[in-house]
Chain A
Amino acid sequence: MVFAPPARHLLRAKDLADARYFEPLDVDDMARAAGLSRAHFSREFRRAFGESPHAYLLTRRLERAAALLRLTDRSVADVCFSVGLQSVGSFTTSFTRTYGVSPLAYRATFPPAAAYAVVPSCVVRAYGRPQRSTFREDSAPARD
């Protein structure tokens, strides 16, 4: 049995951030996934991937948050919680520092999320059909 290089265990921690970013995950959880103490883990992770595990996890969450801002009409608070962050204030600060604009300003630079929704034709036809003002007129109680 040939053992995998140590970096394989760091990759496991990186994968955990990618797979479970929406849970209340932190650097301690990542260190555990790699089987290393937190201080040693942070040093080795940075050496392998060029940035700290904290920065990797946060930017993964911000990337997913940006996608949700573009693709959904969820509120900023909802987006924040959906990517595993707990504080809307910190989220707004980190997002603005990273993307140069606030979450709402970022969203405003894209077409509304509804433009991307691929709604099946049966729904378009059922819900999109205009209703005439005479709908059910003949069965309405007589207005006399």
Chain B
Amino acid sequence: MKAVGARVPRYDGIEHVTGRTVYVDDVKAPGTLWVKALRSPVDSATMTGLDVSKAESLPGVHAVVTWEDVPLLEYGHLSALGIPADEPLLAKDEVRYKGQPIAVVAAEDEDTARAAVEAISVDFEERPALYDVRKAFDEDAPKVHHWGNWYPHFEGEMDCRQIRKGSVTDAFEQADLIVQGVYRPAAIEHVPLETQVCLVVPEANGRLTIYSCTQALYFSMGVVAAHLQLPLNKLKVVGGTVGGGFGGKVDTATETLCSLLALKSGRPVKWRWTREEEFLCSSTRAPWHMEIADAVTKDGWILGRKMLTLHDSGAYARFSPYGLTKHSFHHTGAYTIPNLEFDGYVVFTNRVPTTAMRGFGVTSVSFATETHLTRVAHELGLDPYEVRLRNANRIGDTSPNRIVYTDPSIVPVVKALAGGMDNELAPEYAAMSREQRSGELLPEHLVGQLGNPEDH
């Protein structure tokens, strides 16, 4: 590993400092049209009377696209992972979140595109909207999604992601104390310096060249091909330097609509979102609601954990079931808890659908677990480093979903952290390692959860 610790060149270092790095908006094609979108101004409504004829006939407008122009209106981006399609590319007879795209236009310039959007007429009949995931389960809650208010298609048509391990009932009976906590990290907007942007050029040979800021080029290519019902060899996707993505540029938010406009107008089209659109309409990291109850002993063992997670998916599923699944696998953090009862729901609300952001699904539960561990230590009157080291993953311990750890690093990390904070550990803790549990570090209640590292 010669590169580790060495100074190596950034392959794009010189380009960055000389202004030569090419971002999508820097690519110019002659005759490019400007794209603007008509977006829902309300959180939840039925939609009728969509009429784009006036927009289409404005001088300088070359194409207007609505749901009727989309060959396959609903395509599940993660259908390969078993998540069915639920989201129309453009709204058809209802809108479920403020900012939801209803139509897109391609015109000679930005002002004409804006005027065209304003010339589209549509009627909304507003409905009560749901914003609070905790209220989603009330009988009188507004209904957000045609599947109900939470995702019902986990394997076996279960309506939540469940982890069951050992016996949480026994753990709670044997505990000296139950420590509870509720954790609610808010939504976070990615705020890339480069807003969502896409340029699609229709080629003379019938292919489309798509310049995209996507973080997931082949993935986006597949999404476009599916919506347009085109074979992959009709698309050429040119990725490039992403001006900041952080997980927010995997939704394929612009490419399909630009492709439709390019096909309909026969001209290159470019859609560059405004900063306002980026803030109001682009997907965010999800807000989460997590409730944890740990069954603990006086000397700091965590015998069992009951946990409920409500993940706010916004108005559609997108990648949320996948994010929640990862979250569930990591819901004990880097700590070994043998008795588990985890229920996680992907809840729909009338907000912009949420998406990935660095550490998708897991940063939420890391925050919750670490905070909760410190809470446990405080309630027991114990040192937070010691509680962590005692319960930390070791070789042969198993994860919530029974993966056997072969090389967990939490023990050396916590020890290094203590050292860095000038916190001297008691000798027995300073001597701890990641080696397989034995002796005092292998109490009765942990025996059954061990696995063979060779089985990993």
| Bind each other | no
* Contacts from A to B (Cβ < 8 Å): none
* Contacts from B to A (Cβ < 8 Å): none
